[in-house]
Structure 1
Amino acid sequence: YKHKQIEELSKRFKVLVEDFTDVIGIIDCQGKIMYISETSKKVIGYKREEVIGKNILDFFQGKDKERIMEMMDFVLNNPNKTVQGDVTMTVSKLNIPIYLEMKMKNLLNEPIVEGLVVYMNNITRRVEMEKRMAHISTHDSLTGLPNRIYFRKQLKIQCEHVQKTKSKFALMMLEIGGLKYVNYSLGYEMGDKFILEIVNRLKSYLGENMFLSRYSEDHFAVIVPGEKSKQEYDDMGRGLVDLFKTPFTVGNYDLDAYVNIGICICPYDGQDGIQ
Structure 2
Amino acid sequence: MKGDQKWPGGFETGRKSISTIRQDEELLYLVAIAFETAPNPLLLTNANGTVLLVNQAFCEVTGFSKEEIVGKNPRLLSSGRHHPHFYQRMWDKLTKEGEFQGEIWNRRKTGELFLEYISIRAVRGENGDIQYYTAAFSDITEQKKHQEKIKYYAYHDYLTGLPNRLLFQQKVEEQIRVAQKEHTFFALLFLDLNGFKHVNDTFGHDVGDQLIQAVAKRLQGHFQEGVTVSRMAGDEFNILLPNLSSKREAEKVADDLIRLLESPFIIDQTEIAVSGSTGISIYPDDGGDLKALLKRADFSMYQEKGKRK
Which of 82, 100, 103 is 2:116 aligned to?
100
Give the length in aligned residue pairs: 261
Alpha-carbon deviations, 1:33-54, whole Å to 9, x = none? 3434133221223334346432
1:77 to 92, 96, 111: 96
Q: Percent identity?
A: 22
In structure 1, C-alpha distance between the alignment counterparts of 2:180 and 2:96, rounded to whole Å: 43
Unpaired segments ≥5 residues, structure 1: 1-8
- The verdict on how the C-alpha distance between 1:65 and 1:160 changes in structure 2, with shifts beyond 3 A counting, is farther
Whether the 8 Å contact between 2:264 and 2:271 is mirrored in structure 1 is: no
Aligned twin of 2:18:
none
Q: Which runs of 5+ in 2 are unaligned?
A: 1-26, 293-309
Q: How do residues 25-64 of structure 1 correspond to structure 2 at under 5 angstroms?
A: 25-27=43-45, 32-38=49-55, 39-48=57-66, 49-50=68-69, 52-54=71-73, 56=75, 59-61=78-80, 63=82
3-state SS of the aligned residue for 1:21? coil
Equivalent position of 2:239 in the other structure: 222
Q: Tell me by how many angstroms 1:101 deviates.
A: 0.7
Q: Secondary structure at the match of 2:146?
A: helix
Q: Shift of residue 138 of structure 1?
A: 3.5
1:16-45 CA distance string (max 9 Å, x none):
222112222234566x23434133221223
**CA-CA distance at 1:64 after TM superposition:** 6.7
C-alpha distance in 2, partners of 1:106/1:271?
A: 58
Q: What secondary structure sits across from 2:212 in the alignment? A: helix
Partner of 1:205: 222
Q: Partner of 1:201: helix, strand, or coil? A: helix
Give the partner amino acid of 1:135.
Answer: Y
Instruction: Give the counterpart letter for 2:94 in structure 1.
Output: V
Contact kept? 1:179, 1:191, Cα under 8 Å: yes
Q: How does 1:14-33 map to 2 (within 5 A)?
A: 14-27=32-45, 32-33=49-50
The equivalent of 2:191 in structure 1 is: 174
Equivalent residue, structure 1, for 2:135: 118
Q: How does 1:181-260 map to 2 (within 5 A)?
A: 181-206=198-223, 210-224=227-241, 227-230=243-246, 231-248=248-265, 250=267, 252=270, 254-260=272-278
TM-score (norm. length: structure 2) = 0.66
Residue 237 of structure 1 deviates from its aligned partner by 2.3
CA distance in 2 between partners of 1:15 and 1:274 (Å):
64
Amino acid at match of 1:16: A
Structure-2 change in CA distance of 1:157 and 1:11 (3 Å): farther
Flag the structure with larger Rg.
2
Distance 1:136 1:108, change over 3 A: same
C-alpha separation between the residues in 2 aligned to 1:110 and 1:274? 69
Tell me, what secondary structure is at the counterpart of 2:211? helix
Could you say which structure has the greater relative contact order, defined with CA pairs below 8 angstroms and 6 or more residues apart? 1
Counterpart AA for 2:279: I
Q: What displacement does 1:122 show?
A: 1.1
8 Å contact from structure 2 (residues 187, 280) kept in 1? no
CA, structure 1 residues 64+148, in 2 after alignment: closer, same or farther (shift >3 Å)? farther
Q: What CA distance in whole angstroms lies between the structure 2 residues aligned with 1:110 and 1:121? A: 31
TM-score by length of 1: 0.73
Partners of 2:171 and 2:186 in 1: CA distance: 12
